[in-house]
Structure 1
């Protein structure tokens, strides 16, 4: 019954109010909220006073450092990321875009190609993949965008650095059948591990769920594998088929770029895609999975080892 009511109200101002109220416990007492959620996910107490694990340090960065770091706010935003990459002399790696919208009313489907992707720039997972615009109306899209503009993702996800960025929608070309996605998880400027996303284009994805609320619409199924910097397998999703993932030919280049990006941040995940034969940085993420990372849960030894590499006191 409750789920049915939620479905009816979702996308309305009442639902936004409901979600904002749901976010109040984090706003009132973030330490208490995170302490409970951390224990629920990792099964251990969160150490706020003398954190040793990477998972603990990410939570502290999320609360105290990232929301006040202009560089993080700039780079986490999918639109101002272009400026960040230009300032790092990496503009060639930015994903091209078609339009940027400051209001839902500005959206005009008639000037867009048959295929395109819409993303909220200061959010994770608020994406709409349109593979044939004849199958959706401008009115339907505007309704969704209107909701995105009033929905404060950072407040809802408890990642306040997202809330500090400007609300925008970016429209990018839709690129078919991308290759594997390589995500370099950087800790204190060095590779912590590499996550490889392997797409299964034949299956519609239900795995790309965001905070139990949003599913990236039009997404395909994918599997996650994690490697160390020597390309030894750390951990993979349980349902991953028996596949061999070789180190990419341009691994040294990706590593070099990741290190250059990571110069500015204590922890950052650098996401690479190959688009039309060219390497692009699709996103920079500072709190992947909101800091509740399955690999760190499954491999606490990695959590401890990477935690030792990061001097969190340098950022407070």
Structure 2
């Protein structure tokens, strides 16, 4: 019995946040000293081909090289979900663009401080220091508040990207951001336009649909809005996505924002809303991403991965 208790204690201690961070630092040092063996293994497993750090040629090779470099301070600030909105508005103002962001409703480090009754019926809650940690909440429908609290606390306990080699996320303050839900007034599902940029040049446009419906599709388009015969993680949509009214404005913004970076993905929305009784399309900011898919997503055909990679000048 004492041995079982000791084993349970050892397993608990192994996963505690302080020990997790120490383990992560040791993992980081070991990977650098040994030539990134775990990174090579994970890359091969996810993409189906070998990683080359010394002679990168594909899109995912080069994203991975950027991922393991010492990140400049601007990277760290731009992946912070709160600061990214401020940065996007600052850059838009400098270049004379009209850009809008989702309204921040609350920021906290403690889930118990959230005043749920003061929030609107529908909102979005996300962790500021990591990717993919967000939940849509509709208080008009039954939802498990206790489970939401547990999930939110779990997000805040650990740094993000430790074993994915995305060390730019480590210094980002861990907080919860609650913001308004971006909803087009016409009732259509929100479409996510992701502009893959390199030093002001558009490499490709990724159009994500079906996130909330669960029927997810990804369309990869040339900057001239021609659909490319490419499967990028999710299947292609049956119909080519319609080019938004604000497309050229969005492309200009993405170009201006990315001029100083070898690679930057700028995520934007084109949202129809009523302003002074008139329906208008507004460009709204999503996020900045330097390491999409952690630099190792499945792309078919391989030739496209290679062609896009040649366009990125590290």
Find the aligned partners of 2:211 and 2:141 in 1 and give their Cα distance: 25
Among 31, 37, 52, the residue aligned to 2:42: 37
Deviation per residue, 1:83-133 (Å, 9 max, x gap) = 212331267332221111133332221211121110001111111211126
What aligned pairs does 1:15-26 form with structure 2 within 5 A after superposition? 15=15, 25=27
Among 86, 89, 96, the residue aligned to 2:89: 86
2:311 counterpart of 1:309: yes
Find the aligned partners of 1:91 and 1:241 in 2 and give their Cα distance: 30
Find the aligned partners of 2:294 and 2:56 in 1 and give their Cα distance: 17
Deviation per residue, 1:138-189 (Å, 9 max, x gap) = 5443333222111212214431111121111110112344432111111232
CA contact 1:126–1:148 (8 Å) conserved in 2:
yes
CA contact 1:26–1:33 (8 Å) conserved in 2:
no
Q: How far 1:14 sits from its partner (Å)?
A: 6.5
Among 222, 228, 231, the residue aligned to 2:216: 222
Find the residue that maps to 2:202 and give its secondary structure: strand
CA contact 1:85–1:93 (8 Å) conserved in 2:
no
Find the aligned partners of 2:311 and 2:16 in 1 and give their Cα distance: 40
Find the residue that maps to 2:239 and give its secondary structure: coil
2:260 counterpart of 1:253: no
2:177 counterpart of 1:170: yes
Query: Could you tell me which residue of structure 2 aligns to residue 217 of structure 1?
Result: none
Distance 1:303 1:92, change over 3 A: same
TM-score when scaled to structure 1? 0.78
Structure 2 unaligned residues grouped into runs of 5+: 1-11, 274-280
What aligned pairs does 1:172-187 form with structure 2 within 5 A after superposition? 172-176=179-183, 177-187=188-198
Find the residue that maps to 2:129 and give its secondary structure: coil
Over the aligned positions, Cα root-mean-square deviation in angstroms equals 2.7
Find the aligned partners of 1:51 and 1:121 in 2 and give their Cα distance: 31
Among 49, 64, 69, the residue aligned to 2:72: 69
Find the residue that maps to 1:29 and give its secondary structure: helix
Rg: which structure is higher?
A: 2
Distance 1:13 1:140, change over 3 A: farther
Give the total of aligned pairs: 280
Among 288, 291, 300, the residue aligned to 2:292: 288
TM-score when scaled to structure 2? 0.79
